[in-house]
Structure 1
Amino acid sequence: MQVLENDILVHRYFGKKVNQFSSSNKITYLDRAFSPSPISGNRTFSLDTLSMEYSSNGLGDFRAAAIEVRNEFGTALDLRYQTHRIFKGKKKLLDLPASFASEEEVETLEIDLYDQLTDVTVTLSYSVFEEANFLARSVVIQTGRYPSTLETALSFMLDFPHQDFAIHSLTGRYGYEKEWTVTPITKGKYSIGSIRGASSHSRTPFLALASKDVTEDYGEVYSAHLVYSGNFTGFVETTALETCRWGMGLNDWGFCWKLEAHQSFQTPEALLSYTDRGLTGMTQTSHAFLQKHLVRSPFANKPRPILINNWEATYFHFTEEKILSLAREAQQAGIELFVLDDGWFGKRNNDESSLGDWYVNKEKLPNGLNGLAEAINDLGMEFGLWFEPEMISVDSELYRKHPDWAIHIKGREHIYSREQLVLDLSKKEVCDYLIDSITRVLQSANITYVKWDMNRNITSISEGQANATKHEFYHRYILGLYRILDTLTQAFPHVLFESCAGGGGRNDLGMLYYMPQAWASDNTDAIGRLSIQEGTSLIYPIASMGAHVSAVPNHQVGRITPFSTRGNVAMLGNLGYELDLTALSDSKKKEVASQTALYKSIRQTVQFGNIYRLQQTENTKAYTYVNKDKSQAVFTFVKILAQPEAPLVQVRLKGLEERALYHCPQLDASFYGDELMNIGLTMPHIQKDFFSVQYIFNKI
């Protein structure tokens, strides 16, 4: 960055570290038509042509604004450098999740920009994690003498001197989340975002700009994550001068924030990184940073248990004996955790009732949660529980007592999704109720795992929500949610929390801060899961990704896939099962036991090793997971459809030690690492749909 003579802060460079900056990319001032100048008599100086560090509209910069503050003087801010501070360590963000580190691992720069007319101070924060290769950015907006309304507040803005990029994002829909999407930069503006009240199934708060010729191993990649779980925006805007502006932050749709005199607003944090090691470099850098500096949970570096969830086995219709019969089969198969899903509370037998009534249904569970947990613990397994705390059913004791707690527009009929409404988490009393009721449940039994679900987006915002200001509601809702999560996760550090929102509908870094893993998708089909898990693992640690083996025909798509392929694909994440084990044949039960035993031997490598995406086509997928000391590698290959006269497929592995000898028990053969990486393996030529292999290589 550089402070110009008139105290305007401009951007000079972001990218690979250099030994010393000597202004080789000299600022060139030219007289540009229709680019107004704030300096009388100087037609070459314009905010519209400079690389700005954090810019407002209205004074000559016609690109997308990073900030907009409305007060009696209008909306334009003339932000001038005032002062800066550099210190070891990093401050906590008020009421928001954010990255963290020791004082030795991070250094922070704060820059105060000041608008004299409006008496508004904008503090830009930059925390440099030098070893981790990440930069955390956020902004605080502080009013002075005058009340103001904040209408736009990006967490970061970055101007590039060129536009030679392709944009990488994660798109999709319910059951098809985290679809890795590559979009060429074109004239105009590319944007992603959500106005659903959650980050959403269809958009992820992440954007990467990569060189057009980027590969897995080579090329430049600039990446940005937003640590936030609500409405957001991210964009790349090109200009007529063939530069581009990149930004991310709160979505300004439905947002404004009233600031009285001498009040402040904190934006969510954005995490930026750069690599010249291609897409694999981006993935591995992101995994390492998030695992160490964002996942706050005590479980961050602990192996995750193999679980069974009863949902697709029973749905709502279960008894205590049925649950215990499933648990007995699971224990015999080597499964370590039983998770009781929806239907255990209130009078819940379908989607239409009881959300909000967090007390046990004694008709289904006559011995209560404690009795069930003890019986499952006696089998040597842990016990976990499903919640959907943010929702309320009209047919519930809670709604009959507090109908005003549901988000609604007075005088309008309710809009339903899955027959449920959303609780107003902008209200302190609602948050207090959820904290108290969930605390009572978690204290009532030996519960060591919680699946926290959220199956409905927000509608029907009225002026009655969020202190009578509907445009503050969405952010206040998220602040209420974060308060609940912060309180509960700190009160129950022994509980492994998993986030879920109809699968990946709120799988973002805000949730990952509190909950170290997420249910990646409700789609449990092995073939459908390939793209979902690849997109998720593009930026999120493998240890955060739940993946289950389910029954066939698959309950979402009706596909019939081999049991081995379902296991191999699920073992690309945190292995679990979601099917009726009591209905399996003896041979299939043995296969489950074999899968769990194998996964335990590779769990550390899968969950905490390095992932390499290998030769990828529309019909084949291949991956290698390699542990940190390169003593073990897990190779998985999946062929989707059989083809006539199909060519042979040869796959080269990555990440091994070249001169080390590796033994593969599945092939009953040993290979040196350089042979596996330079020559590769010929895949079996099996003419069957959905065929897969999994090979384990152990260093001798």
Structure 2
Amino acid sequence: MEAEFATASDGTLRLTRLDGTGSGDPETALPLVELTALGHGSGWSGPRFTGTAFGSRLAYRRHHADRHGGWERLTVELHGPATGLTVFVELSSPAGIPVLRSRVRLRNDGDEPLVVQSVSSLLFAGLPSPDLLDVHRARNDWLAECRWYAEPLRGTVADINVHAHQHDSRAALTLTGRGSWPTDGHLAMGALTRRDDGRAWLWQIESPAGWRWDLGEHAGGTYLALNGPTDAEHQWRVRLAPGEEFTTVPAVLAPGAGFDAALGALTSYRRLVRRPHSDHDRLPVVFNDYMNTLMGDPTTAKLLPLIDAAADAGAEYFCIDSGWYDDTADGGWWNSVGAWEPSVRRFPGGGIRVVLDRIRERAMVPGLWLEPEVIGVDSPFAATLPPEAFFMRDGVRLTEQGRHQLDLRHPAARAHLDRTVDRIVGEWGVGYLKLDYNIVVDPGTCGPDDLAPGAGLLGHAHAYLDWLSGLLDRYPHLVIENCASGGMRMDGATLAVTQLQSTSDQQDPLRYPPISAAAPTGVPPEQGAVWAYPQPEFDDDLIRFTLGGALLGRIHLSGHLNRMSQAQLRLVRDAVDVYKAIRTDLAEALPFWPIGLPGWTDEWLALGMRVSDGRTTYLSVWRRGGVAELTLPVGHLTGRAAHAEILHPTDDSVGTAVWDGDAVRVSVPRAPGVVLVRLTVES
């Protein structure tokens, strides 16, 4: 990764070339940082956060470069003499991984307060003309996550004949995420690809609460601006008193020869920056009792046979999902959560510890579901915790779906959750927490020290991640699954702390494949929890289908295994055994999509994993309809002798796979059907 900088005639530093892309001319590039602040305005009117008044006033002062811990780092210092604002642009790139990471630190060295309304995390204006580019986004809706779509950039940014107007277009293609579900609507990422040669630029914004990116035309090329929350779209502002600092959320840009190559670099980066944990190497099989099984209605009588069946199937963790704290007769626990004490009614004769002990007796690690950030309006903790421990607006405590939202910046809120986890993990010996979050607060809270609700929300979100880090410091072997109604919190900041990510709440096994096939775009495959919920009423093909779809992710078993026949259980055990045989490879494999990213209604879908040994490649291929045979190109193996074998299903009647030197021909005679193929290069 090479980056070139030059100082323009106005004294501002510009990023003029990145990884061979760019004009090299500082006069046609954009300033290294753009920001807006009250009393200063923008440089022109329009929806962009480029061309700001501040951007042209931040003169280059000095820079410092070093190498540390396998990272190349460059810190550029800029200064605005009129306001005294000093800006530090912190750029870094890990050795061997072609990505650029950027964040910006502001320090008010002036004599007066400064209210900042937006500040870019990363800005680059050297991309090709919009005429050449397609822009890619990933819709991310409840039950329909990771749905990528593309369109020409010119479809939004029209050619206005810049030469006639002597001015760039003011149009911009803009995407934002807001509220306490940062990936509700879209993933916090995007991509550009050239239509002529396929070259790609992929990015992500690592914000747990509010983000924006936009693309537009500048000096005949395309600019990319990556921001955290802004005043205009997230009600975010920060007041910097003299001497105070603020640091933006990080943003990452990964160029590559194509989308798959850029995503591979981003995957390697994601693995590098996340918190080290043994779970990322071991990849144990998790059974969760919720999906299409107990559905929030666990009892001792229901759980004990399910625990035995899960252990027999090869599960290594057993997570009791929601409802374990519900002592009501009608299941009306939603508005009363917060104490997180086990139900006496559900677990008579020894309580929940009998169930947890049974899980350990069957050589599995016990887990529990928890929704830590909410307190039900009918919970006693709604009255006993101080008002400042909750989200507030205009002096009114926020209520959403019968819940109040805790503010983890307040010591009482954090102490309450610490006591809860110390009891569950420290006393009960639970080793797995599924942390869910089923409300969304938009735009945030105004605590005593908050200038705007968006700033309060971002402050809470960072405090929540700090709290999670504290848990893992105290309990290093604890495994945390991140969930927010599935994938509504699938952001880079949270994934860098937690070990697993729920990919969806989708209950239909026929609609899950496009989610599981595309999930590695948002999360490394070994962190992406994919449901596999075989049922005794399924025929054998559907059992194989729901199991096979999870084998290149992180398999999360569910289903009424205790009601299955021995023949059906054998199908489950066979799939789990296959997963255990390949999971070491998955922990460092890079994803690719031989027939392109999946469409929601595609009849055929495919996900590949390229192992770093250079010899092994895995392909999951789904058929939901259409013709019975498909040819899948595998570019990195073109022209090489390789052997194709089907690992799952083990029944020879469900499909074939043949390597012809350039591609693999897969036959799946019945739909729905799935095959897991291993391609091994012959020596």
Q: 1:572 is matched with which residue: 552, 559, 562? A: 552
Displacement of 1:553 in angstroms is 11
Displacement of 1:408 in angstroms is 4.5
**Aligned-partner Cα distance in 2 for 1:53–1:674:** 51
* Contact kept? 1:374, 1:446, Cα under 8 Å: no
**Aligned-partner Cα distance in 1 for 2:446–2:42:** 33
Aligned to 2:311: 331
Aligned to 1:279: 259
**Aligned-partner Cα distance in 1 for 2:55–2:620:** 55
- Structure-2 change in CA distance of 1:85 and 1:630 (3 Å): closer
Aligned to 2:16: 12
Displacement of 1:157 in angstroms is 1.2
**Are residues 1:175 and 2:143 paired?**
yes
Aligned to 2:165: none
**Aligned-partner Cα distance in 1 for 2:24–2:296:** 67
**Aligned-partner Cα distance in 2 for 1:247–1:586:** 57
- Structure-2 change in CA distance of 1:399 and 1:624 (3 Å): same
Displacement of 1:461 in angstroms is 5.0
Aligned to 1:82: 61
Q: 1:623 is matched with which residue: 599, 603, 607? A: 607
**Aligned-partner Cα distance in 2 for 1:421–1:257:** 25
* Contact kept? 1:331, 1:379, Cα under 8 Å: yes
Aligned to 2:190: 207
* Structure 2 gap ranges (5+): 158-170
Displacement of 1:166 in angstroms is 1.4
Give the residue type in structure 1 aligned to 2:89: L
* Contact kept? 2:289, 2:295, Cα under 8 Å: yes
Find the residue that maps to 2:19 and give its secondary structure: coil
Alignment of 1:539-554 (within 5 A): 539-550=522-533
**Aligned-partner Cα distance in 2 for 1:123–1:435:** 35
- Structure-2 change in CA distance of 1:696 and 1:660 (3 Å): closer
Alignment of 1:442-457 (within 5 A): 442-457=425-440
Find the residue that maps to 1:484 and give its secondary structure: helix
- Structure-2 change in CA distance of 1:207 and 1:444 (3 Å): same
Kindly provide the CA deviation profile for residues 463-511 of structure 1, in whole angstroms up to 9, marking residues without a partner as x: 5565475352111111221221121122111011110000000011111
Kindly provide the CA deviation profile for residues 354-405 of structure 1, in whole angstroms up to 9, marking residues without a partner as x: 3221222233234344443222111111111111101111121211323724
**Aligned-partner Cα distance in 2 for 1:460–1:124:** 27
Give the residue type in structure 2 aligned to 1:27: D
- Structure-2 change in CA distance of 1:62 and 1:158 (3 Å): farther
- Structure-2 change in CA distance of 1:346 and 1:25 (3 Å): closer
**Aligned-partner Cα distance in 1 for 2:637–2:177:** 41
**Are residues 1:236 and 2:249 paired?**
no
Kindly provide the CA deviation profile for residues 36-74 of structure 1, in whole angstroms up to 9, marking residues without a partner as x: xxxxxxxxxxxxx54332235657566733697xxxxx9
- Structure-2 change in CA distance of 1:389 and 1:222 (3 Å): same
Find the residue that maps to 1:680 and give its secondary structure: strand
Kindly provide the CA deviation profile for residues 267-314 of structure 1, in whole angstroms up to 9, marking residues without a partner as x: 1111222112x12211221222211x2121313641311121111321
Aligned to 2:339: 357
**Aligned-partner Cα distance in 1 for 2:617–2:195:** 31
Displacement of 1:436 in angstroms is 2.9
Aligned to 2:114: 148
Kindly provide the CA deviation profile for residues 646-698 of structure 1, in whole angstroms up to 9, marking residues without a partner as x: 474333445459245565575989xxx994441532414x2x43222233456
Displacement of 1:75 in angstroms is 6.8
- Per the normalisation by structure 1, the TM-score is 0.84
Give the residue type in structure 1 aligned to 2:63: H
Kindly provide the CA deviation profile for residues 90-141 of structure 1, in whole angstroms up to 9, marking residues without a partner as x: xxxxxxxxxxxx1xx1121111111111111111111122411121111011
**Aligned-partner Cα distance in 2 for 1:134–1:184:** 24
Q: 1:249 is matched with which residue: 206, 218, 227? A: 227
Kindly provide the CA deviation profile for residues 536-582 of structure 1, in whole angstroms up to 9, marking residues without a partner as x: 2125310011011125699xxx9997111111112131112122222
**Aligned-partner Cα distance in 1 for 2:405–2:671:** 43
Moved more, 331-340 or 428-437: 428-437
Give the residue type in structure 2 aligned to 1:234: W
**Aligned-partner Cα distance in 1 for 2:113–2:539:** 59
> Cα RMSD (Å) of the superposition?
3.1
Give the residue type in structure 2 aligned to 1:121: T
**Aligned-partner Cα distance in 2 for 1:563–1:655:** 32
Alignment of 1:115-130 (within 5 A): 115-130=80-95
- Structure-2 change in CA distance of 1:134 and 1:559 (3 Å): farther
**Aligned-partner Cα distance in 2 for 1:325–1:220:** 53
- Structure-2 change in CA distance of 1:515 and 1:166 (3 Å): same
Q: 1:106 is matched with which residue: 71, 76, 86? A: 71
Displacement of 1:634 in angstroms is 3.0
Give the residue type in structure 2 aligned to 1:549: A
**Aligned-partner Cα distance in 1 for 2:642–2:224:** 44
**Aligned-partner Cα distance in 2 for 1:469–1:612:** 42
Q: 1:195 is matched with which residue: 156, 178, 182? A: 178
**Aligned-partner Cα distance in 1 for 2:83–2:359:** 63
Aligned to 1:634: 618
Find the residue that maps to 1:649 and give its secondary structure: strand
Q: 1:27 is matched with which residue: 9, 25, 31? A: 25
Displacement of 1:413 in angstroms is 9.3
**Aligned-partner Cα distance in 2 for 1:625–1:347:** 45
**Aligned-partner Cα distance in 1 for 2:35–2:448:** 30
- Structure-2 change in CA distance of 1:410 and 1:394 (3 Å): farther
* Structure 1 gap ranges (5+): 18-23, 30-48, 69-73, 90-101
Moved more, 341-350 or 593-602: 341-350
**Aligned-partner Cα distance in 2 for 1:27–1:344:** 63
Find the residue that maps to 1:526 and give its secondary structure: coil
**Aligned-partner Cα distance in 2 for 1:262–1:408:** 28
- Per the normalisation by structure 2, the TM-score is 0.86
**Aligned-partner Cα distance in 2 for 1:267–1:194:** 16
**Are residues 1:434 and 2:413 paired?**
no
Find the residue that maps to 1:392 and give its secondary structure: strand
Q: 2:667 is matched with which residue: 670, 673, 683? A: 683
Aligned to 1:270: 251
* Contact kept? 1:526, 1:570, Cα under 8 Å: no
Q: 1:693 is matched with which residue: 667, 675, 681? A: 675
Displacement of 1:335 in angstroms is 1.6
- Structure-2 change in CA distance of 1:411 and 1:205 (3 Å): closer
**Are residues 1:537 and 2:517 paired?**
no
Find the residue that maps to 2:518 and give its secondary structure: helix
* Contact kept? 1:604, 1:627, Cα under 8 Å: no
Aligned to 2:49: 65
* Contact kept? 1:466, 1:476, Cα under 8 Å: no
**Are residues 1:389 and 2:369 paired?**
no
**Aligned-partner Cα distance in 1 for 2:15–2:44:** 14
Q: 2:152 is matched with which residue: 184, 195, 201? A: 184
Displacement of 1:236 in angstroms is 0.9
Displacement of 1:259 in angstroms is 1.1
* Contact kept? 1:435, 1:487, Cα under 8 Å: no
- Structure-2 change in CA distance of 1:279 and 1:6 (3 Å): closer
- Structure-2 change in CA distance of 1:636 and 1:56 (3 Å): closer
* Contact kept? 2:140, 2:187, Cα under 8 Å: no
Aligned to 2:593: 613
**Aligned-partner Cα distance in 1 for 2:451–2:59:** 34
**Aligned-partner Cα distance in 1 for 2:608–2:446:** 53
Displacement of 1:235 in angstroms is 1.1
